[in-house]
Homo-oligomer: A and B are copies of this chain.
Amino acid sequence: MALARHFPRPLKAGARVAVVAPASPPQNVQALEVGIARLEKAGLQIERGRTLTAQRGYLAGSDVLRAEELNHYFRRPDIHAIFCARGGYGCLRLLPLLDYEAAIRMPKLIIGYSDITALQLAVLAQAGVPGLSGPMVAVDWPVLDTETEARFWELAQGATPDPLPLVGSAKLHVLRPGDAKGPLVGGTLSVLVRLLGTPYLPDLTGSILFLEDVGEAPYRIDGMLAQLRLAGVLDRLAGVVLGQFTKSDPVSETPSLTLGEVLEDYFGQASYPVVVGFPYGHQPQKNTLPIGTQACLQAHGDTATLRLLEPVVR
Protein backbone atom coordinates (compact mmCIF):
# COMPACT_ATOMS: atom_id res chain seq x y z
CA MET A 1 0.00 0.00 0.00
CA ALA A 2 1.27 3.45 -0.94
CA LEU A 3 1.19 4.88 2.57
CA ALA A 4 3.90 7.32 3.66
CA ARG A 5 6.06 6.17 6.60
CA HIS A 6 8.66 8.93 6.92
CA PHE A 7 7.30 12.43 7.38
CA PRO A 8 8.83 15.81 6.62
CA ARG A 9 8.67 18.65 9.13
CA PRO A 10 6.00 21.36 8.88
CA LEU A 11 7.01 24.18 6.57
CA LYS A 12 7.13 27.23 8.83
CA ALA A 13 8.21 30.86 8.28
CA GLY A 14 11.99 31.14 8.52
CA ALA A 15 12.60 27.70 7.02
CA ARG A 16 15.30 27.34 4.35
CA VAL A 17 14.11 25.65 1.16
CA ALA A 18 15.65 24.81 -2.23
CA VAL A 19 14.21 25.87 -5.58
CA VAL A 20 15.29 23.49 -8.35
CA ALA A 21 14.50 22.40 -11.91
CA PRO A 22 14.75 18.59 -12.01
CA ALA A 23 12.97 18.37 -15.39
CA SER A 24 12.87 21.26 -17.92
CA PRO A 25 14.38 24.72 -17.33
CA PRO A 26 12.15 27.67 -16.36
CA GLN A 27 10.74 29.22 -19.54
CA ASN A 28 10.67 32.72 -18.14
CA VAL A 29 13.38 34.12 -15.86
CA GLN A 30 11.16 36.99 -14.76
CA ALA A 31 8.35 34.66 -13.74
CA LEU A 32 10.84 32.60 -11.73
CA GLU A 33 11.96 35.76 -9.89
CA VAL A 34 8.39 36.76 -9.12
CA GLY A 35 7.69 33.25 -7.83
CA ILE A 36 10.78 33.28 -5.62
CA ALA A 37 9.81 36.71 -4.29
CA ARG A 38 6.40 35.31 -3.30
CA LEU A 39 8.04 32.50 -1.35
CA GLU A 40 10.40 34.98 0.34
CA LYS A 41 7.49 37.21 1.24
CA ALA A 42 5.86 34.18 2.87
CA GLY A 43 8.93 33.99 5.13
CA LEU A 44 10.99 31.25 3.46
CA GLN A 45 14.74 31.49 2.94
CA ILE A 46 15.50 30.49 -0.64
CA GLU A 47 18.48 28.53 -1.89
CA ARG A 48 18.67 28.53 -5.69
CA GLY A 49 19.77 25.36 -7.44
CA ARG A 50 22.23 25.48 -10.33
CA THR A 51 19.63 23.79 -12.53
CA LEU A 52 17.62 27.04 -12.55
CA THR A 53 20.09 28.41 -15.11
CA ALA A 54 21.30 25.19 -16.79
CA GLN A 55 20.03 23.83 -20.08
CA ARG A 56 20.47 20.85 -22.38
CA GLY A 57 17.67 20.82 -24.96
CA TYR A 58 14.43 20.43 -22.99
CA LEU A 59 16.38 19.41 -19.89
CA ALA A 60 17.64 21.78 -17.17
CA GLY A 61 21.18 20.49 -17.56
CA SER A 62 22.59 16.97 -17.69
CA ASP A 63 20.99 14.06 -15.86
CA VAL A 64 23.98 13.90 -13.50
CA LEU A 65 23.70 17.62 -12.67
CA ARG A 66 19.97 17.39 -11.95
CA ALA A 67 20.23 14.17 -9.94
CA GLU A 68 23.25 15.30 -7.93
CA GLU A 69 21.52 18.57 -7.08
CA LEU A 70 18.50 16.72 -5.73
CA ASN A 71 20.76 14.37 -3.76
CA HIS A 72 22.67 17.36 -2.38
CA TYR A 73 19.46 18.88 -1.03
CA PHE A 74 18.15 15.49 0.15
CA ARG A 75 21.29 15.26 2.32
CA ARG A 76 21.35 18.83 3.68
CA PRO A 77 19.84 18.94 7.18
CA ASP A 78 19.20 22.68 6.91
CA ILE A 79 16.97 22.33 3.84
CA HIS A 80 13.32 21.84 4.84
CA ALA A 81 11.63 21.36 1.46
CA ILE A 82 12.31 21.20 -2.28
CA PHE A 83 10.21 23.51 -4.45
CA CYS A 84 10.24 22.70 -8.17
CA ALA A 85 10.36 25.61 -10.60
CA ARG A 86 8.71 23.85 -13.51
CA GLY A 87 7.75 20.45 -14.94
CA GLY A 88 8.16 19.81 -18.66
CA TYR A 89 10.09 16.60 -19.08
CA GLY A 90 13.08 14.94 -17.48
CA CYS A 91 12.39 13.43 -14.02
CA LEU A 92 12.08 9.88 -15.40
CA ARG A 93 15.75 10.01 -16.39
CA LEU A 94 16.81 10.68 -12.78
CA LEU A 95 14.98 7.98 -10.85
CA PRO A 96 17.78 5.37 -10.77
CA LEU A 97 20.30 8.06 -9.74
CA LEU A 98 18.61 9.34 -6.58
CA ASP A 99 19.73 8.81 -2.98
CA TYR A 100 16.54 7.37 -1.50
CA GLU A 101 18.37 6.52 1.74
CA ALA A 102 19.01 10.22 2.27
CA ALA A 103 15.33 10.91 1.58
CA ILE A 104 14.45 8.46 4.36
CA ARG A 105 17.00 9.91 6.82
CA MET A 106 15.84 13.50 6.32
CA PRO A 107 12.35 13.46 4.78
CA LYS A 108 11.52 16.64 2.82
CA LEU A 109 8.44 17.73 0.96
CA ILE A 110 8.91 17.80 -2.80
CA ILE A 111 6.47 20.35 -4.18
CA GLY A 112 5.29 20.41 -7.81
CA TYR A 113 3.18 18.50 -10.31
CA SER A 114 3.16 17.57 -14.02
CA ASP A 115 6.53 15.91 -14.79
CA ILE A 116 7.43 16.25 -11.07
CA THR A 117 4.83 13.50 -10.50
CA ALA A 118 7.51 10.95 -11.46
CA LEU A 119 9.85 12.21 -8.75
CA GLN A 120 7.15 12.33 -6.09
CA LEU A 121 5.82 8.84 -6.82
CA ALA A 122 9.35 7.39 -6.93
CA VAL A 123 10.20 8.95 -3.56
CA LEU A 124 6.98 7.55 -2.09
CA ALA A 125 7.63 4.09 -3.59
CA GLN A 126 11.33 3.89 -2.71
CA ALA A 127 11.53 5.96 0.49
CA GLY A 128 7.99 6.11 1.89
CA VAL A 129 8.17 9.91 1.97
CA PRO A 130 4.99 11.84 1.02
CA GLY A 131 4.89 14.79 -1.37
CA LEU A 132 2.70 17.74 -2.20
CA SER A 133 1.18 17.96 -5.66
CA GLY A 134 0.93 21.72 -5.82
CA PRO A 135 2.02 25.05 -7.34
CA MET A 136 5.39 25.44 -9.06
CA VAL A 137 7.67 28.42 -8.55
CA ALA A 138 8.13 29.64 -12.14
CA VAL A 139 4.66 28.61 -13.32
CA ASP A 140 2.00 29.07 -10.65
CA TRP A 141 3.50 31.18 -7.86
CA PRO A 142 3.78 34.31 -10.04
CA VAL A 143 0.00 34.29 -10.52
CA LEU A 144 -1.20 32.49 -7.40
CA ASP A 145 -4.53 33.69 -6.00
CA THR A 146 -4.93 33.99 -2.25
CA GLU A 147 -7.28 31.01 -1.96
CA THR A 148 -4.96 28.65 -3.87
CA GLU A 149 -2.06 29.87 -1.74
CA ALA A 150 -3.99 29.44 1.51
CA ARG A 151 -4.92 25.84 0.63
CA PHE A 152 -1.26 25.13 -0.11
CA TRP A 153 0.06 26.53 3.17
CA GLU A 154 -2.56 24.71 5.23
CA LEU A 155 -1.28 21.35 3.99
CA ALA A 156 2.41 22.32 4.09
CA GLN A 157 2.01 23.36 7.73
CA GLY A 158 0.24 20.19 8.82
CA ALA A 159 -3.48 20.95 8.77
CA THR A 160 -6.00 18.24 7.92
CA PRO A 161 -8.98 20.19 6.57
CA ASP A 162 -12.06 18.06 7.04
CA PRO A 163 -13.67 18.20 4.55
CA LEU A 164 -11.10 19.67 2.16
CA PRO A 165 -12.47 23.07 1.03
CA LEU A 166 -12.51 23.19 -2.78
CA VAL A 167 -10.82 26.18 -4.41
CA GLY A 168 -13.17 28.47 -6.35
CA SER A 169 -16.21 26.80 -4.73
CA ALA A 170 -15.83 23.96 -7.25
CA LYS A 171 -18.52 21.31 -7.23
CA LEU A 172 -17.70 17.64 -7.60
CA HIS A 173 -19.80 15.44 -9.88
CA VAL A 174 -20.39 11.83 -8.84
CA LEU A 175 -19.60 9.40 -11.67
CA ARG A 176 -19.83 6.36 -9.38
CA PRO A 177 -21.11 6.40 -5.80
CA GLY A 178 -19.51 4.82 -2.77
CA ASP A 179 -17.20 5.27 0.20
CA ALA A 180 -13.44 4.88 0.07
CA LYS A 181 -10.63 5.12 2.59
CA GLY A 182 -6.99 4.80 1.63
CA PRO A 183 -3.80 6.63 0.74
CA LEU A 184 -4.35 9.54 -1.62
CA VAL A 185 -1.90 9.02 -4.51
CA GLY A 186 -1.64 10.45 -7.99
CA GLY A 187 -0.60 13.27 -10.25
CA THR A 188 -0.36 13.69 -13.99
CA LEU A 189 -1.74 10.62 -15.77
CA SER A 190 0.73 10.53 -18.68
CA VAL A 191 3.64 10.67 -16.24
CA LEU A 192 2.21 8.15 -13.77
CA VAL A 193 1.70 5.49 -16.45
CA ARG A 194 5.37 5.85 -17.49
CA LEU A 195 6.18 4.21 -14.13
CA LEU A 196 4.18 1.03 -14.86
CA GLY A 197 6.44 -2.00 -15.03
CA THR A 198 9.20 -0.17 -13.13
CA PRO A 199 10.16 -0.16 -9.42
CA TYR A 200 9.16 3.50 -9.07
CA LEU A 201 5.37 3.26 -9.03
CA PRO A 202 3.95 2.82 -5.51
CA ASP A 203 1.64 -0.16 -5.05
CA LEU A 204 -1.72 1.45 -5.75
CA THR A 205 -3.78 -1.33 -4.16
CA GLY A 206 -6.40 0.26 -1.94
CA SER A 207 -5.45 3.81 -2.94
CA ILE A 208 -7.61 6.79 -3.80
CA LEU A 209 -6.07 7.73 -7.14
CA PHE A 210 -6.17 11.36 -8.31
CA LEU A 211 -5.39 12.27 -11.91
CA GLU A 212 -5.14 15.25 -14.24
CA ASP A 213 -3.40 16.01 -17.53
CA VAL A 214 -2.79 18.65 -20.18
CA GLY A 215 -2.50 18.56 -23.95
CA GLU A 216 -3.47 14.90 -24.37
CA ALA A 217 -6.19 14.08 -26.91
CA PRO A 218 -8.95 11.64 -25.86
CA TYR A 219 -7.37 8.71 -27.74
CA ARG A 220 -4.13 9.24 -25.82
CA ILE A 221 -5.93 9.40 -22.45
CA ASP A 222 -7.72 6.22 -23.58
CA GLY A 223 -4.39 4.46 -24.15
CA MET A 224 -3.09 5.52 -20.75
CA LEU A 225 -6.20 4.28 -18.95
CA ALA A 226 -6.05 1.07 -21.01
CA GLN A 227 -2.51 0.47 -19.75
CA LEU A 228 -3.62 1.06 -16.14
CA ARG A 229 -6.45 -1.42 -16.66
CA LEU A 230 -4.27 -4.05 -18.39
CA ALA A 231 -1.76 -3.73 -15.55
CA GLY A 232 -4.53 -4.57 -13.08
CA VAL A 233 -4.30 -1.19 -11.35
CA LEU A 234 -7.87 -0.01 -11.95
CA ASP A 235 -9.32 -3.17 -10.39
CA ARG A 236 -7.39 -2.68 -7.16
CA LEU A 237 -8.20 0.97 -6.40
CA ALA A 238 -10.36 2.17 -3.51
CA GLY A 239 -11.54 5.32 -5.30
CA VAL A 240 -10.78 7.86 -8.00
CA VAL A 241 -10.68 11.67 -8.00
CA LEU A 242 -10.51 13.17 -11.50
CA GLY A 243 -9.16 16.69 -11.84
CA GLN A 244 -8.94 18.83 -14.94
CA PHE A 245 -7.89 17.50 -18.34
CA THR A 246 -7.06 20.78 -20.07
CA LYS A 247 -6.32 21.23 -23.77
CA SER A 248 -7.56 17.69 -24.38
CA ASP A 249 -9.37 18.41 -27.65
CA PRO A 250 -9.48 15.66 -30.29
CA VAL A 251 -6.91 15.77 -33.08
CA SER A 252 -8.08 17.85 -36.08
CA GLU A 253 -11.04 16.47 -38.06
CA THR A 254 -10.75 12.76 -37.29
CA PRO A 255 -13.78 11.33 -35.49
CA SER A 256 -13.24 10.94 -31.77
CA LEU A 257 -14.78 9.78 -28.57
CA THR A 258 -15.17 12.72 -26.20
CA LEU A 259 -13.08 12.79 -23.06
CA GLY A 260 -16.29 12.20 -21.11
CA GLU A 261 -17.00 9.04 -23.10
CA VAL A 262 -13.47 7.78 -22.47
CA LEU A 263 -13.77 8.36 -18.71
CA GLU A 264 -17.19 6.67 -18.73
CA ASP A 265 -15.71 3.64 -20.55
CA TYR A 266 -13.07 3.12 -17.89
CA PHE A 267 -14.83 4.27 -14.72
CA GLY A 268 -18.57 4.10 -15.47
CA GLN A 269 -18.91 0.61 -14.04
CA ALA A 270 -16.34 0.93 -11.25
CA SER A 271 -17.13 -0.80 -7.97
CA TYR A 272 -15.67 2.18 -6.06
CA PRO A 273 -16.48 5.90 -5.84
CA VAL A 274 -15.34 8.04 -8.79
CA VAL A 275 -15.74 11.82 -8.82
CA VAL A 276 -14.98 14.33 -11.57
CA GLY A 277 -14.47 18.10 -11.57
CA PHE A 278 -11.91 18.33 -8.78
CA PRO A 279 -10.10 21.71 -9.00
CA TYR A 280 -6.65 20.28 -9.65
CA GLY A 281 -4.49 20.33 -12.78
CA HIS A 282 -2.66 22.57 -15.20
CA GLN A 283 -4.57 25.69 -14.19
CA PRO A 284 -3.66 28.56 -11.85
CA GLN A 285 -6.58 28.13 -9.42
CA LYS A 286 -6.40 24.77 -7.72
CA ASN A 287 -6.20 22.66 -4.63
CA THR A 288 -2.89 21.22 -3.53
CA LEU A 289 -3.09 17.50 -2.77
CA PRO A 290 -0.92 15.33 -0.53
CA ILE A 291 0.66 12.22 -2.07
CA GLY A 292 0.77 9.20 0.22
CA THR A 293 -1.39 10.12 3.23
CA GLN A 294 -4.70 8.64 4.40
CA ALA A 295 -7.86 10.16 3.04
CA CYS A 296 -11.52 9.37 2.75
CA LEU A 297 -13.79 9.87 -0.27
CA GLN A 298 -17.55 9.84 0.10
CA ALA A 299 -19.75 10.11 -2.98
CA HIS A 300 -23.51 9.78 -2.75
CA GLY A 301 -26.32 11.22 -4.84
CA ASP A 302 -25.00 14.49 -6.17
CA THR A 303 -22.68 15.18 -3.26
CA ALA A 304 -19.05 14.19 -2.83
CA THR A 305 -16.57 15.00 -0.10
CA LEU A 306 -12.84 14.45 0.19
CA ARG A 307 -11.48 14.35 3.73
CA LEU A 308 -7.83 14.27 4.72
CA LEU A 309 -7.29 11.96 7.68
CA GLU A 310 -3.67 12.72 8.54
CA PRO A 311 -1.19 15.56 8.04
CA VAL A 312 1.49 15.32 5.34
CA VAL A 313 4.08 16.77 7.77
CA ARG A 314 4.69 15.92 11.43
Contacts of A196 in B (CB 8 A): 196-198, 227
Main secondary structure of the interface of A (DSSP, over half): loop
Q: In the complex, which of the residues B57, B96, B222 contacts A256, with contact meaning CB atoms closer than 8 Å? A: B57
Against B, the Cβ 8 Å flags (1 = close, 0 = not) of A192-205 are 00111111110000
Of A87-95, A171-179, A206-214, A286-294, the segment with at least 4 beta carbons within 8 Å of chain B is A87-95
A256 touches B219 (CB 8 A): no
A219 touches B92 (CB 8 A): no
A226 touches B257 (CB 8 A): no
B89 touches A58 (CB 8 A): no
Task: Contacts A92-B223, A219-B89, A223-B92 given; indicate if A198 touches B56 (C-beta within 8 A).
Answer: no
Number of residues from A at the complex interface, CB < 8 A: 38
A257 touches B219 (CB 8 A): no
Q: Does A110 contact B (CB under 8 A)?
A: no
Contacts of A89 in B (CB 8 A): 219, 222-223
B226 touches A92 (CB 8 A): yes
How far apart are A196's CB and chain B's nearest CB, in angstroms?
3
A197 touches B197 (CB 8 A): yes
A255 touches B58 (CB 8 A): yes
Contacts of A218 in B (CB 8 A): 57-58
**Complex Cα distance A55/B255, Å?**
9
Q: Does A101 contact B (CB under 8 A)?
A: no
Against B, the Cβ 8 Å flags (1 = close, 0 = not) of A251-289 are 000111110010000000000000000000000000000
